[in-house]
Amino acid sequence: MPPDDRTGWESALVVIPTYDEADNIEAILTAVTTAVPEASVLVVDDGSPDGTSELVEKAVETDPRIHLLRGEGKRGLGQAYVAGFHWGLDHGYGLFVEMDADFSHDPAAIPDLLGAAAEADVVVGSRYIPGATGGFRCYRRAVLEAVDLPGVRSNGYAFQIDMTYRAWRLGFRLAEVPITFRERELGTSKMSGSIVREALVAVARWGLRDRLRGRRRPGAY
């Protein structure tokens, strides 16, 4: 469907970064396309050696809603999302959903994110307690066009915090919807100590920068 002809949830692109997710990828694609049959799905694979991208290629051949963007090496979560966002912007999508490939994010909750995006620019799926750091979320196109994606260098957990911070600083509307987070059952977790450290250092750096500049969010009291 040409980009200009997409309306409503047909303008949604679900971006799924992968690295060694052969155990999960076929099932997650089926679950996502079942939950939101109007939407498209983009898998951004970071050069998985386990055949993940080959499985996606087979799905692409039979389902025009599914797309594959191959990376040449392991760039990390943040840069995979940035590449996926650029692809989606270039192809005219208006809503962008981030989610993991391991079913820790329930595809059945995607309609809740998209529905909340009718009145918010960034919608974050939150687990149990409020917080804008979750990785299951939805962005409106205007946010991704405004946040200077080429300047986003954070990876891992820090990427989510970085994107939220940038959107908040620009005055975009943030909202949360409750979700249930599940631990992966298949495959290997990509979380590491370096990812956690990056997030902690980034938060401290941004907080110090704002204090030194004495700046507040536009419109804040």
Q: Tell me: the pLDDT tens digits for 38-68? A: 999 999 999 999 999 999 999 999 999 999 9
What is the pLDDT at residue 8?
84
Domains in the chain with CATH codes? 3-213 (3.90.550.10)
Q: How far apart are CA 12 and CA 210, in angstroms?
A: 34
**What is the average per-residue pLDDT within 110-138?**
86
Question: Please, which pLDDT band fits residue 154 given cuts at 50, 70 and 90?
Answer: confident
Instruction: Report residue 183's pLDDT band, with 50, 70 and 90 as the boundaries.
Output: low
Residue among 141, 129, 154 at smallest CA distance from 15: 141
- Please state the pTM of the whole predicted model: 0.81
Tell me whether residue 40 is exposed, middle or buried, using C-beta atoms within 10 angstroms of its C-beta: 0 to 12, 13 to 18, 19 or more: buried
pLDDT in tens, 102-112: 999 999 999 99
CA distance to 90, 103, 146, per residue, from 177 (Å): 28, 18, 23
CA distances from 200 to 35, 46, 76, 154, 162 (A): 34, 25, 17, 12, 11
Residue 124 has pLDDT above 90, yes or no: yes
Q: What is the pLDDT of residue 40?
A: 98
Residue whose C-alpha is closest to residue 181's, from 140, 139, 138, 137: 137
Given a cut of 60, whether residue 145 has pLDDT beyond it is: yes
